[in-house]
């Protein structure tokens, strides 16, 4: 039984009991508990089922390395799957549920998989589900989906908020144990800007549990002293519950701060993602204890020795009444001693080593009356959902049982691995430490910054030193070195404090227990608890030729679970090395990638959700449109009215009404989104002649000209009307989505190719609200407003003029994208809404109605005007669209000219723009292809054209379309067949693309 | 002529950890030219009432001033109603050389974020070192606020003035409001 002890629990506030539920059962813990410690206190050792065999799984660790205790947390808007019980703080009302079992945690049908384990070996996905192919979709995948998977996907929207925070510092210290704190003091007192991130809620790391004395005082008091001192330093920031998640190039670090995980109902962000730029990073990330590989090491009740100690000291929890300690090092003796001091029984310490003489800790243990069995190991653990005993064997043998000891917990220790993840994220190399059997940072090969110097330094246990005095000395040396390299002066009187030295006996690497374990035992010796990878699986992989650690990992799934192999990796690769008869360093490790430990997806998104998921650009008249029935269409980041619905009208009816009204009376279009670039300078004319396919330098002041822009490769990238303001100033209109892109395009050419040309470009798109006043009544409305002369004589087609209308300072362009009499009028954006209102009043008796982008599209299509993005798609050149008239023959050069002379561009078989008219007046499906005879080399039907724009024209009372067709302009009158995705075949005749007013009489009145 | 209307009609939110106000419209003129040219410097000074500043600096007082925008660009600040006059003066001063002056007053929205935690609010949105001493009145940053371009400077030790494009004014206001939500104190600066 695991239970709460009457005394102990240094992190608990026993005055504050906390109620929570696990699988619906009401349980009780204390403030200061983690979910894991509270579950153990309630004898809830069984917390889940493994991924593949659905084996019962209990809590193994006490920190982020925990592989088993993953739970579904919370409900609805606060539901979160795969939460680690060991890192989840307990709070009142917490709801947790175990994962990956059916129908219940105690009785699980999937557990029969374990009897099938012979048929589910390493690489079983690849082996079993290859044939027949169809079975994958219908048999295997549904089966795997049902049986695999851990937590459930959340269904409700997350109700919490999240944020980012940008911070800068000289030194970022990851880890608030004794090493991190001591390094922080050294750096802080040297005057550096320091940030310390500690993943847990408390300072000091393992030291307060493991004990020892520093400068004559107990280490926990020493930690308190350091924290108190650090808090007085203004240049030091201490953050608890903030995990260094990843180290990236240029000293960039992500920190994951959990602000409300223990108080979900308090207002404020739940998580904060720190985005830090540090001149240097110190990784004081400590070390993680390794499990031992013996048969039955996955049975609930088998735990890491240090975790047993943590729960005892930190939370006053005993994981069992009788705990057998099994180890290959001295550190685990601390657990036995602590248990004994707490009045619990330790029937034996099973130590794989054979040593000439007892170390300090061994003597202590023996003095407490604990039986120490040197040279022994565990042959097998007895029990199902809970440990009931262990079978003892000789470590050197093959597992013959010498003795059975009954117990309800096993505390194991296979040695310690420094947490090298953050050191390695950005390329820090590792070296194999033979004495301690672990990989530690190779300080001669650190991750390098832009200056070629290392920007990460490990400190303390993270650099491979484990004794308290070594840890402190190492941290001081690390901080001292970093300070010096950054140019700070470390005060001379600063030195490392003296810690009491304990003489430990050396550890002995043990990768399998007993070392000659039979296949039967190896099949029960787990390496990866979460993904069910055993010693036998890794050996099989090696046998089948997976000699690279990266391949063996993927083949066996070792270390691929949500814990990323924090416990299993070293044991797994040592097993692989053993099977290959290779040494461990030559096998190497898999790659360490951020994040160190899973972080919430929402913290990565930060504030970017809901209203600010993406910036939406609004014109000055946006709100008016919104209150007048606008149905919105996204155009770039802008929102433009697609149509304005009146009464109960359908969108389609609204569009038809808008077209007819604009053709017959008068329409208003918010054209503010069109790009407006001022191009000015002595070389501006020359520059624009290069930018556009046609001549802009010859444009007269006061005039407008339509122009096309191509990329260097000849493809059409933008179009718009250009106006000449004065001798060396032009205004270029771009498409709505093109303003920033074309501005960048111009700047790029000016800065890289024609850097000596005297031209400046300014993007003034948003300075103006622009309104297109369109239709036969347009002039009357403007005359009603009064002010400048807008007559045909004073302001002809393709003229522009500055003036006043209705008291507004305006610039009027007589341009038309509709074929009607049309004025595009620009006013300063701050007056845009007022000007729009004035036009609505002036046009009231003239039949004014606003119109949206779909109406605009139909109006232009009726006139055969192309639209960038409809008729062009990045592969179209102006010549394809019959725009030869807008391509200057006189100019020596323009961007795209040479490209357009390439053989493929001059191929007469390039599809050409034509108009299309259905034979029955219906509307062609958008994007439909015209089929031709025969099949191509891939056995597909040959094509001879496609639809680029298609609408119902209320003006003409029939469907009209534009399309690109093989030799189209030469095939007028021919009928093409367009199969639709609706199963119907559409017939359309090739016609002139200008359907309406081909002579242009209406716009020129 | 109607009264000029700022993008959000001077909306404000005073419930968070810093006060947020949309101010303006303010007068703003983009000036592109050779910043080492005396004529450009003089014209900028006349229009903005202050000397052209060094890189990433701003010389401003009240609503007037000159800000550095890029190696060949300054931003002239003035009262909104003074823009036409300033533009005329600028054009006159620049008539002999090659330079471009454009009125961008209406293309922008201006926000003020103020209070002891104003730095924290900005540091949630802009990748800028806002530590006191590293960023102070007189400095100018062209940067981004989350997903949109923005520029800001401090008018006093606890007040930022932020300029963004007019079309994204609502986005920026919403961003600032979220970044200043109650309970989101960072206690970093």
Domain boundary assignment for chain B: 12-179
pLDDT above 90 covers a percentage of chain A that reads 89
Alpha helices in A394-440 (DSSP H): 421-424
Range scoring the smallest mean pLDDT among A224-228, A262-266, B135-139: A262-266
Alpha helices in B49-168 (DSSP H): 83-94, 118-123
Mean pLDDT of A854-883: 97
d(CA A89, CA A264): 11
Distances (CA, A) of A98 to A33, A70, A83, A597, A857: 18, 7, 10, 20, 57
Mean pLDDT of A573-592: 91
- Token couple for A848: 């004014």
Select the residue from A279, A603, A618 to test the B interface by mutation, using most B Cβ atoms within 10 A. A618
d(CA A578, CA A536): 12
- Token couple for A898: 């040479």
B104, closest residue in chain A (CA to CA): A767
Strand partners for A278? A169
Return the SS3 of A624: helix
Give the alpha-carbon dihedral of B63, B65, B67, B71, to 10 degrees.
150
Residues of chain A with C-beta less than 8 angstroms from the C-beta of B131: 168, 193
Q: Which residues, including other chains, have CB under 8 Å from residue A859's CB and lie 6 or more apart?
A: A659, A662, A663, A774, A817, A818, A819, A820
d(CA A626, CA A641): 8
Model confidence at A171: pLDDT above 60 = yes
Strand partners for A525? A295
Residues of chain A with C-beta less than 8 angstroms from the C-beta of B168: 615-618, 637
d(CA A880, CA A903): 14
Return the SS3 of A406: strand
Residues of chain A with C-beta less than 8 angstroms from the C-beta of B127: 166, 275
User: If one looks up domain A1-156 in CATH, what number appears?
Assistant: 3.10.20.440
Distances (CA, A) of A666 to A662, A663, A775, A836, A956: 5, 7, 4, 14, 18
Cβ neighbours of A700 (radius 10 Å) = 9
Domain A519-582 has CATH 1.10.10: yes
Contact B52, B45 (CB under 8 A): yes
d(CA A571, CA A528): 9
| Domain A162-288+418-486: homologous superfamily in CATH | FAD/NAD(P)-binding domain (3.50.50.60)
Would you call B68 exposed, middle or buried from its count of C-beta atoms within 10 A (0-12, 13-18, 19+)?
buried
d(CA A675, CA A761): 13
B147/A272 CB distance under 8 A: no
Model confidence at A631: pLDDT above 60 = yes
pLDDT of the residue at A54: 81
Select the residue from A194, A760, A810 to test the B interface by mutation, using most B Cβ atoms within 10 A. A760
B100/A617 CB distance under 8 A: no
How close B117 comes to chain A (CA, Å)? Answer: 13
Contact A683, A767 (CB under 8 A): no
Model confidence at A257: pLDDT above 90 = yes
Contact B5, A834 (CB under 8 A): yes
Q: How confident is the model at residue A119 (pLDDT cuts 50, 70, 90)?
A: low
Q: Is B117 on the interface with A (CB under 8 A)?
A: no
Q: How confident is the model at residue A121 (pLDDT cuts 50, 70, 90)?
A: low
Residues of chain B with C-beta less than 8 angstroms from the C-beta of A761: 100
Residues of chain B with C-beta less than 8 angstroms from the C-beta of A681: 98, 100
pLDDT of the residue at A633: 97
Q: Is B51 on the interface with A (CB under 8 A)?
A: no
d(CA A962, CA A289): 70
d(CA A158, CA A155): 9
Q: Is B144 on the interface with A (CB under 8 A)?
A: no
d(CA A590, CA A554): 10
Considering only the beta carbons, identify the residue of B98, B166, B188 that sits closest to A766: B166
pLDDT of the residue at B142: 97
Q: Is B27 on the interface with A (CB under 8 A)?
A: no
d(CA A78, CA A156): 8
Contact A257, A242 (CB under 8 A): yes
> Which of A259-268, A561-570, B12-21 has maximum average pLDDT?
B12-21
User: If one looks up domain A908-1005 in CATH, what number appears?
Assistant: 2.40.30.110
Q: Is B146 on the interface with A (CB under 8 A)?
A: yes
Mean pLDDT of chain A: 94
- Per-residue pLDDT tens digits for B30-48: 999 999 999 999 999 999 9
Cβ neighbours of B50 (radius 10 Å) = 18
- Per-residue pLDDT tens digits for A725-766: 999 999 999 999 999 999 999 999 999 999 999 999 999 999
pLDDT of the residue at A148: 54
Mean pLDDT of A42-58: 88
Contact A488, A191 (CB under 8 A): yes
pLDDT of the residue at A49: 84
Contact A920, A975 (CB under 8 A): no
Distances (CA, A) of A564 to A226, A419, A442, A462, A558: 33, 13, 22, 18, 8
Alpha-carbon radius of gyration of chain A: 38
Residues of chain B with C-beta less than 8 angstroms from the C-beta of A762: 30, 32, 100, 102, 104
* Distance, C-alpha A536 to centroid of its chain: 36
Alpha helices in A692-822 (DSSP H): 739-748, 778-785
Contact A226, A269 (CB under 8 A): no
Q: How confident is the model at residue A126 (pLDDT cuts 50, 70, 90)?
A: low
Cis amide leading into A242 (omega within 30): no
Instruction: Say which CATH class A321-411 falls into.
Output: alpha beta
Closest by Cα among A785, A831, A678, A671 to B103: A678
B175/A166 CB distance under 8 A: no
Mean pLDDT of B129-140: 97
B179, closest residue in chain A (CA to CA): A163
User: If one looks up domain A614-883 in CATH, what number appears?
Assistant: 3.30.1360.120
Per-domain boundaries in chain A: 1-156, 162-288+418-486, 321-411, 519-582, 614-883, 908-1005
pLDDT of the residue at A937: 95
- Per-residue pLDDT tens digits for A309-350: 999 999 999 999 999 999 999 999 999 999 999 999 999 999
A762/B166 CB distance under 8 A: no
- Token couple for B25: 């419209």
Considering only the beta carbons, identify the residue of A611, A761, A766 that sits closest to B174: A611
Select the residue from B186, B187, B189 to test the A interface by mutation, using most A Cβ atoms within 10 A. B186
- Token couple for B82: 């003074």
Checking phi first, is residue B5 left (phi over 0); if not, alpha (psi -120 to 50) or beta?
beta
Considering only the beta carbons, identify the residue of A266, A764, A808 that sits closest to B104: A764
B165/A808 CB distance under 8 A: no
- Per-residue pLDDT tens digits for B113-128: 999 999 999 999 999 9
A615/B148 CB distance under 8 A: yes
A995 DSSP 8-state letter: -
A463 DSSP 8-state letter: G
Domains A1-156 and A519-582 share a fold: no
- Per-residue pLDDT tens digits for A897-948: 999 999 999 999 999 999 999 999 999 999 999 999 999 999 999 999 999 9
Closest by Cα among B7, B16, B64, B36 to B178: B16
d(CA A902, CA B96): 44
A168/B134 CB distance under 8 A: yes
A809/B1 CB distance under 8 A: yes
Residues of chain B with C-beta less than 8 angstroms from the C-beta of A161: 178, 181, 184
- Token couple for A666: 């008068």
Give ∠ CA A292-A296-A297 in degrees, rounded to 5: 30
A751 DSSP 8-state letter: I
Instruction: Say which CATH class B12-179 falls into.
Output: alpha beta
pLDDT of the residue at A454: 97
A766/B147 CB distance under 8 A: no
Model confidence at B166: pLDDT above 70 = yes
How close B172 comes to chain A (CA, Å)? Answer: 8
Q: How confident is the model at residue A142 (pLDDT cuts 50, 70, 90)?
A: low
List, in sequence order, every beta strand (DSSP E) within A704-767.
704-710, 716-726, 729-734, 760-763
Q: Which residues of A570-596 are buried (b: 16+ CB within 10 A; e: fewer)?
A: bbbbbbbbbbbeeebeebbbbebebbb
Contact A571, A512 (CB under 8 A): no
């Amino acid at each position: 039984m695991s239970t709460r002890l009457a005394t102990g629990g240094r992190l608990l506030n026993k005055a504050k009991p906390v109620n929570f539920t696990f699988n619906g059962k009401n349980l009780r813990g204390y403030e200061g508990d983690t979910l894991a410690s509270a579950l153990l206190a309630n004898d809830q050792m069984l917390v889940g089922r493994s991924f593949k065999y659905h084996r019962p799984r209990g809590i193994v660790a006490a920190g982020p390395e925990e592989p088993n205790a993953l739970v579904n947390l919370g409900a609805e808007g606060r539901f979160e799957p795969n939460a680690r019980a060991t890192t989840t703080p307990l709070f009142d009302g917490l709801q947790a549920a175990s994962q990956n079992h059916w129908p219940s945690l105690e009785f699980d049908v999937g557990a029969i998989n374990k009897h099938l384990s012979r048929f589910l070996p390493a690489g079983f996905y690849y082996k079993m589900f290859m044939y027949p192919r169809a079975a994958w979709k219908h048999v295997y995948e549904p089966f795997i989906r049902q049986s695999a998977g851990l937590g459930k996907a959340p269904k409700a929207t997350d109700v919490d908020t999240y944020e980012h925070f940008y911070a800068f510092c000289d030194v970022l210290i990851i880890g608030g144990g004794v090493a991190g704190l001591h390094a922080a003091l050294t750096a802080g007192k040297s005057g550096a800007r320091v940030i310390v991130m500690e993943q847990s809620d408390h300072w000091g790391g393992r030291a307060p549990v493991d004990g020892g004395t520093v400068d004559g005082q107990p280490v926990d008091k020493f930690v308190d002293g350091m924290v108190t001192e650090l808090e007085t330093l203004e240049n030091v920031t201490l953050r608890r519950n903030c995990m260094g998640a990843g180290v990236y190039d240029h000293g960039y670090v992500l920190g994951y701060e959990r602000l409300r995980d223990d108080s979900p109902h308090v207002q404020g962000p739940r998580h904060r993602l720190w985005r830090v730029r540090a001149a240097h990073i110190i990784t004081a990330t400590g070390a993680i204890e390794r499990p031992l590989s013996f048969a039955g090491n996955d049975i609930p009740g088998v735990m890491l020795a240090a975790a047993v100690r943590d729960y005892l000291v930190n939370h006053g929890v005993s994981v069992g009444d009788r705990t057998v300690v099994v180890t290959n090092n001295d550190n685990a003796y601390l657990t036995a001693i602590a248990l004994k001091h707490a009045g619990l029984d330790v029937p034996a310490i099973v130590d794989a080593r054979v040593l000439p003489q007892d170390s300090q800790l061994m003597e202590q243990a023996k003095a407490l009356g604990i039986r120490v069995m040197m040279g022994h190991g565990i042959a097998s653990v007895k029990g199902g959902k809970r440990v009931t005993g262990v079978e003892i064997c000789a470590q050197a043998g093959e597992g013959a049982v010498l003795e059975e000891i009954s117990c309800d917990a096993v505390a194991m220790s296979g040695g310690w691995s420094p947490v090298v993840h953050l050191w390695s994220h950005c390329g820090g190399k590792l070296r194999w430490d033979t004495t301690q059997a672990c990989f530690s940072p190779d300080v001669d090969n650190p991750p390098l910054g832009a200056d070629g110097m290392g920007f990460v330094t490990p400190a303390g246990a993270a650099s491979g030193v484990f004794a308290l005095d070594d840890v402190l000395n190492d941290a001081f040396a690390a901080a001292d070195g970093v300070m010096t390299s950054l140019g700070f002066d470390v005060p001379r009187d600063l030195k490392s404090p003296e810690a009491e030295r304990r003489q430990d006996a050396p550890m002995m690497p043990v990768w399998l227990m007993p070392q000659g374990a039979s296949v039967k035992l190896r099949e029960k010796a787990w390496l990866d608890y979460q993904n069910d990878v055993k010693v036998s699986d890794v050996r099989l992989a090696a046998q089948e030729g997976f000699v690279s650690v990266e391949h063996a990992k993927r083949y066996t799934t070792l270390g691929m679970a949500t814990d990323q192999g924090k416990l299993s990796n070293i044991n797994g690769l040592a097993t692989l090395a053993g099977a290959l008869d290779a040494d461990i360093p030559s096998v190497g490790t898999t790659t360490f990638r951020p994040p160190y430990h899973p972080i919430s997806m929402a913290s990565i998104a930060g504030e970017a959700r809901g209203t600010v998921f993406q910036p939406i650009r609004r014109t000055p008249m946006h709100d008016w449109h919104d209150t007048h029935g606008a149905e919105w269409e996204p155009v770039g980041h802008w929102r433009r009215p697609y149509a304005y619905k009146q009464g109960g009208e359908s969108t389609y009816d609204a569009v038809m009404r808008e077209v007819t009204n604009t053709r017959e009376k008068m329409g208003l279009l918010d054209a503010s989104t069109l790009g407006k670039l001022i191009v000015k300078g002595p070389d501006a004319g020359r520059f624009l002649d290069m930018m556009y396919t046609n001549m802009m330098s010859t444009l007269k002041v006061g005039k407008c000209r339509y122009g096309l822009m191509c990329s260097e490769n000849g493809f059409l990238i933008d179009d718009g009307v250009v106006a000449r303001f004065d001798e060396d100033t032009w205004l270029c209109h771009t498409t709505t989505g093109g303003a920033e892109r074309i501005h960048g395009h111009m700047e790029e050419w000016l800065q890289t190719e024609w850097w000596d040309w005297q031209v400046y470009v300014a993007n003034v798109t948003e300075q103006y609200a622009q309104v297109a006043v369109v239709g036969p009544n347009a002039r009357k409305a403007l005359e009603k407003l009064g002010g400048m002369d807008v007559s045909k004589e004073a302001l002809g087609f393709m003229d522009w003029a500055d003036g006043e209308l209705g008291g507004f300072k305006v610039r009027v362009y007589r341009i038309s994208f509709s074929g009607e009499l049309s004025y595009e009028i620009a006013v300063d954006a701050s007056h845009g809404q007022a000007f729009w209102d004035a036009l609505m009043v002036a046009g009231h008796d003239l039949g004014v109605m606003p119109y949206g982008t779909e109406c605009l599209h139909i109006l232009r299509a009726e006139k055969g005007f192309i639209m960038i993005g409809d008729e062009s798609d990045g592969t179209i050149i102006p010549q394809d669209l019959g725009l030869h008239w807008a391509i200057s023959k006189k100019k020596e050069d323009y961007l795209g000219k040479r490209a357009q002379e390439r053989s493929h561009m001059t191929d007469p078989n390039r599809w050409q723009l034509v108009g299309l008219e259905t034979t029955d007046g219906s509307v062609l499906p958008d994007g439909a292809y015209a089929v031709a005879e025969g099949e191509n080399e891939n056995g597909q039907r040959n094509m001879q054209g496609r639809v680029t724009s298609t609408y119902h024209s209320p003006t003409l009372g029939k469907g009209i379309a534009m399309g690109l067709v093989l030799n189209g302009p030469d095939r007028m009158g021919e009928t093409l067949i367009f199969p639709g995705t609706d199963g119907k075949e559409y017939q359309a005749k090739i016609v002139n693309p200008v359907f309406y007013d081909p002579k242009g009489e209406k716009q020129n009145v | 002529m109607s009264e000029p209307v700022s993008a959000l009609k001077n909306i404000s939110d005073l419930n968070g950890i810093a006060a947020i106000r949309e101010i303006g419209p303010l007068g703003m003129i983009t000036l592109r030219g050779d910043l080492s040219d005396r004529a450009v410097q003089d014209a900028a000074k006349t229009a903005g009432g202050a000397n052209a500043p060094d890189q990433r600096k701003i010389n401003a007082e009240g609503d007037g001033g000159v800000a550095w925008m890029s190696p060949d660009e300054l931003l002239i600040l003035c009262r909104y109603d003074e823009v036409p006059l300033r533009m005329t003066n600028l054009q006159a001063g620049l008539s002999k050389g090659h330079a471009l002056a454009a009125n961008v007053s209406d293309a922008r929205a201006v926000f003020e974020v103020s209070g002891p935690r104003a730095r924290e609010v900005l540091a949630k949105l802009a990748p800028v070192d806002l530590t006191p001493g590293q960023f102070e009145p007189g400095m100018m940053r062209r940067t981004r606020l989350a997903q949109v371009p923005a520029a800001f400077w401090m008018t006093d030790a606890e007040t930022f003035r932020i300029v963004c494009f007019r079309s994204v004014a609502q986005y920026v206001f919403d961003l600032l409001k979220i970044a200043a939500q109650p309970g989101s104190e960072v206690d970093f600066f």
